[in-house]
Structure 1
Amino acid sequence: MGTKNRVHLWVLIVTAFSCTVTVQGQQKKPNIVLLFSDDAGYYDFGFQGNSGFPTPYLDAFANESVELDQFYVTAAVCGPSRAGLLTGMYQQRFGYEENNVPGIMSASGLTGDEMGLPVGLNTIADYLKPLGYRSMVIGKWHMGNADRFHPLDRGFDEFYGFRGGARSFWPLDEDQKASRPEDRMERGFGEFEEPERYLTDVFADEACRFIRDNKDHPFFLYLSFNAVHTPLEAKEEDLAMIEGLSGKRKKMAAMTLAMDRACGQVLNQLKELGLDENTLVVFTNDNGGPTDASAANNYPLSGTKANHLEGGIRVPCLVRYPAGLSGRSSYSFPTSTLDLLPTFYAAAGGDPKVLEGSDGVNLLPYLSGEIAERPHDKLFWKKENRGAIRKGDWKLLRFPDRPAELYNIRQDEREEKNLAYDHPDMVRKLYKELFEWELSLERPLWQLKREYEGKAMERMDRYRTHYPEK
């Protein structure tokens, strides 16, 4: 072989080796998928013990995952919960009180389309972009209707969904689009296109398309379902699959079945492309189920969406990451959606210490057993005069119309035995620590009319221990 041929062969070998190293290096950086349901009941999944709500794909996923038994959201309603999730910060710290946008607000503060996730705050997508990730949000945004709050200006590379908080699962007619423009389905920025099929199915197809398009480099997919939020609309073929239920519960179960199928489609797409072993997938929900609106069942927890009882703020959570965590197991210390940003950032190769203002922790060393202590000493919740603090196994609830209540959640997760009169020193201690945390917060940028606080207390009392048919 001549010298030129040998040199040429050597260049080919070196080039091939370099490409292999590059590809292998890319493969080591995991993809990240967040499957996020909307207003689901704590009990309303097969893997949560409810045989009347068939979720075969999520059940199989649970058998390969770490199940977080005490996983909390930062708010008991949709929008603020998402604000805490996306920023990794208590949303009250930047004035995003526990009220949805736009909503029925008081005359003071921001109103209408002026309300949204404050511009200038970084999101998960903002942080992952410099680490080489392409990001997409599919589905419900609910972080403000104005253009300046748009996902493409909040770090995401792609968007297919709607800006508002709830809409029909079927195509909107012209009157619906005119009356609620934030409900229109939008691709990218300003390109509106109504799907011709059931929305949950469309979201699954779009998620799989994004995965295929980005299979060769790291991606972050935020699949933000509007299922199973009202309106309760299900496909006839899914309703036919539900036995033993009627009314709202039957519709809820059918909608959950469709969402489960969508999750399965995404998980199968990862597997077909050989990406599942190196993809961090989380499934969770935005807040407790609204028993009054949709007959969601939060058994065995007390309370519902919009209050700080366990049923309003504690949600199912499954984490699967074959490259970094062992399979079927559970984790029992309190964790939070605040932890998802630092966990994703660490998995992507970043140092969570650089995350500005983060209130969460990287859960990977805790879930793997590398760190044995609790991830959080304290967790907080606040909506106007109402508030709650979880410290260790103790939880204090503060109300505007009655004395504070105290529970030991480890011994009494249903919050049935109020221990406030037995442990007055603990009440004073936690009350003070909750107030000290509140002193670090911004004033709310908007608030509901005061009359709605009274309705919130009435709702809490009515559905405190009410469980629909299973």
Structure 2
Amino acid sequence: MRRLLLALAHVLCCGTATAAERPNVLVFIVDDMGWQDTSVPFHHDASGQPVVSALNRLYRTPHMERLAAQGMKFTRAYAHPVCTPSRISLMTGKNAARHRVTNWTNPAGTENGDNDVPHLRSPDGWGMKGISPDERPLPAVMKQSGYRTIHCGKAHFGSRGAFGQYPQAIGFDVNIAGNEIGHPASYFSRQDFGKGANHVTGLEKWHGTDGFLTDILTRELGDALTTVVEDRQQPFFAYMAHYAVHSPFMEDPRFAAGYPDLPPARRAYATLIEGMDRSLGDILAKLESLGVAEQTMVIFLSDNGGDAPIPNDKDAPVVSGNAPLRGKKGMRYEGGIRVPMIAAWAKPGPGNPFPIRPASHTDDLVAIADVFPTVASLAAIPGVAPWDGHDLTPYLKGDAAYHRPQSLVTHYPHGHNNDHFSILHDGPWKLIRNRADDSTELYNLAEDISESRNLATEHPERAKAMAEDLERRLDGYGALRSKVVGKAGP
């Protein structure tokens, strides 16, 4: 009754048009979730039919299935190959080459690139301490426009003592368990979420209880949503950033019985995925119970390619844990950068500000930096600099004539799973420049999604033109290149 009276008061005060123009937004981001780490198939054949993989049949994500059934899948969504750059691109709308946080940041704010390439190092001046205080981040923009901003889970925007250590610095009113760490020391509350540099803070009231981090974060966000809906009566921007499914691969006991035939690490990973999906379902149910589901846009995605504990040769990447994609997190191949993405109203109905065609999908290339302008557009916030992201709401509104520019630069001047590379996607074509040995790879993803045939020698003119375009675009971003410290070769 209280919610009904408050809702009526809000309508009388503000009018229904304002509510329709300013929906709530929930960004639900999963850590290290691969393109195929779900029962929802993101691979479609040439006729537009979904291709169900062995991984799709393995994992159980019914709430992702529900979200996809009532909204739109983006089958070619891209993020950076590692987490912090992706998260800052989401928050700024900038390509990582422009904001210069091109590698994951560690809690100490020190250099963390591998030195596997003797003559190359990370560039001087890259943002190893995280997001710059000069940025105008999405939560700050939303807050200034009258939204209540809520952060829950993994932040990883900046190192200890730096500007971005805590989410409040970038505009979040509420911070639940977010700090400088990139993964939890433990998922178990009975272990106080672990010790040391990767201890999860802010959940002390749960210490010593028999809980699991994924579920606890869900409960905490549910309480925060209840407060903003019932007490504050203002639209909200909620950012649910799960620590799952990042290592350490700890078994969520709620779901372990469902995977009896998997070895321990893979069973744990599968339970982390199912637990993440249960969280999605619980939050959708909470929004419905609060009476705001029809006015809440949900954007679901991952921060980089999958990192499943399935063998994947670092030196000669093969199709494995992200099949049919090649490679995994930190790699230059599609398995390292292509991510699952869905957008839908939390509940379809007459209260939706606009309808989204159920079970729709687009194969157009989109990127994590697109979240910023898309959310700003949903919130009807004027005067937001577009930077490198593009508004995706025309897709959601069914504008068949609209196509985001079908190109994307990915720049990684560091050592990790793959070392020192830059990528240009241009329609179906993908060019990789490997800085370590000055080699080029060229793939036609429409014909070879697994990147099994390097076409650089068969199409030298295309490879040359794309390589030149890549360098021009990097210059335009002010990108920092890998630092040369010696000579290549013997």
Q: Which category of TM-score, normalised to the shorter sequence, fits these structures?
A: 0.7 to 0.9
CA spacing shift, 1:434–1:205, aligned 2, 3 Å: same
Q: Which residue in 1 is equivalent to 2:292?
A: 275
Determine which of 403, 425, 428 is the counterpart of 1:390: 425
Q: Quick one: which amino acid aligns to residue 378 of structure 1?
A: S
Using the TM superposition, give the Cα deviation of residue 371 of structure 1 relative to its aligned residue in structure 2, in angstroms.
5.0
Partner in structure 2 of residue 337 of structure 1: 368
Matched, 1:299 2:323: yes
1:185 paired residue number: 201
Alignment of 1:234-313 (within 5 A): 234-291=251-308, 297-313=321-337
Aligned CA-pair RMSD: 3.0
Greater helix proportion = 1
Deviation at 1:81, TM superposition (A): 1.1
- Post-superposition shift, 1:84? 0.9
Contact 1:36 1:223 in 2 (8 A): yes
Summarize deviations over 1:286-334 as a string: whole Å, max 9, x none.
1111246888821111111111211111011111034222221111110
In the alignment, what sits opposite 1:213? Answer: 227
- How far the C-alpha of 1:117 sits from its partner, in A, is 0.7
Matched residue, 1:7: none
Which of 444, 455, 459 lines up with 1:408 in the alignment?
444
Checking the alignment, whether the CA contact within 8 Å between 2:94 and 2:389 is kept in structure 1 is: yes
Q: Could you tell me which residue of structure 2 aligns to residue 123 of structure 1?
A: 137
Note the C-alpha offset of 1:217. Answer: 1.8
Equivalent in 440, 450, 464 of residue 476 of structure 2? 440
Change in Cα spacing, 1:111 to 1:349, as seen in structure 2 (3 Å) is closer
Contact kept in structure 2, 1:52 and 1:245, CA below 8 Å: no
SS at match of 1:204: helix
Counterparts in 2 of 1:427 and 1:207: CA distance versus 1, 3 Å: same
CA contact (8 A) 1:95 1:441 kept: no
How far, CA to CA, are the matches of 2:157 and 2:484 in structure 1? 20
**Residue in 1 that maps onto 2:65:** 59
**Counterparts of 2:378 and 2:193, CA distance in 1:** 45
Indicate whether 1:425 and 2:443 are aligned. Answer: no
1:319 aligns with 2:339: no
- Maintained 8 Å contact 1:398/1:404: yes
Q: Which amino acid aligns with 1:24?
A: T
- Assess, with a 3 A threshold, how the Cα gap between structure 1 residues 55 and 389 changes in structure 2: closer, same or farther: same
In the alignment, the residues of structure 2 paired with residue 99 and residue 147 of structure 1 have an alpha-carbon distance, to the nearest angstrom, of 14
Matched to 2:378, the amino acid is A
Larger radius of gyration: 1
What is the TM-score with the length of structure 2 in the denominator? 0.80
Instruction: Say yes or no: does 1:152 pair with 2:168.
Output: yes
Relative to 1, partners in 2 of residues 1:195 and 1:147: Cα closer, same or farther, differing over 3 Å? farther
Is the CA contact (8 Å cut-off) linking 2:100 and 2:126 kept in structure 1? no
Measure, in 1, the Cα distance between the counterparts of 2:311 and 2:282: 26
Which runs of 5 or more structure 1 residues have no equivalent in the other structure? 1-15, 455-470
Q: TM-score, normalised by structure 1?
A: 0.83
The residue matched to 1:237 in structure 2 has which SS? Answer: coil
Matches within 5 A, 1:67-216: 67-73=73-79, 75-101=80-106, 102=109, 104-105=112-113, 109=124, 115-144=129-158, 145-146=160-161, 148-149=163-164, 150-163=166-179, 164-167=181-184, 168-171=186-189, 177=195, 179-180=196-197, 183-186=199-202, 194=207, 196=209, 197-215=211-229, 216=233
Matches of 1:286 and 1:398, distance apart in 2 = 22
Deviations 1:53-76 (A, max 9, x none): 111222122211201111111x10
Which residue identity is paired with 2:444? N
Q: Is the 8 A contact 1:185 1:195 kept in 2?
A: no
Deviations for 1:186-223, whole angstroms, at most 9, x for unmatched residues?
A: 27xxx997573211011100111121112232001100
Q: CA deviation at 1:370?
A: 2.0
* Helix, strand or coil at the partner of 1:381: strand
1:232 aligns with 2:249: yes
Q: 2: CA distance between counterparts of 1:175 and 1:26?
A: 42
> Given that residues 382 and 388 in structure 1 are in contact (C-alpha distance below 8 angstroms), is that contact kept between their aligned partners in structure 2?
yes
Conservation of the 8 A alpha-carbon contact between 2:265 and 2:309: no
Q: Is the 8 A contact 1:230 1:294 kept in 2?
A: no
The residue that corresponds to 1:379 in the other structure is 408
CA distance in 2, matches of 1:439, 1:364: 29
In the alignment, the residues of structure 2 paired with residue 310 and residue 107 of structure 1 have an alpha-carbon distance, to the nearest angstrom, of: 23
Does the aligned pair in 2 maintain the 1:184–1:193 contact within 8 Å? Answer: no
Structure 2: how far apart are the matches of 1:424 and 1:406?
9
Unaligned segments of structure 2, at least 5 residues: 1-7, 42-51, 114-120, 313-319, 414-419
Other-structure match for 2:116: none
What secondary structure, in the 3-state scheme, does the structure 1 residue paired with 2:477 have? coil
> What is the Cα deviation at residue 382 of structure 1?
0.8
- What CA distance in whole angstroms lies between the structure 1 residues aligned with 2:367 and 2:263? 34
SS state at 2:476 partner: coil
Offset of 1:93 from its aligned partner? 0.8
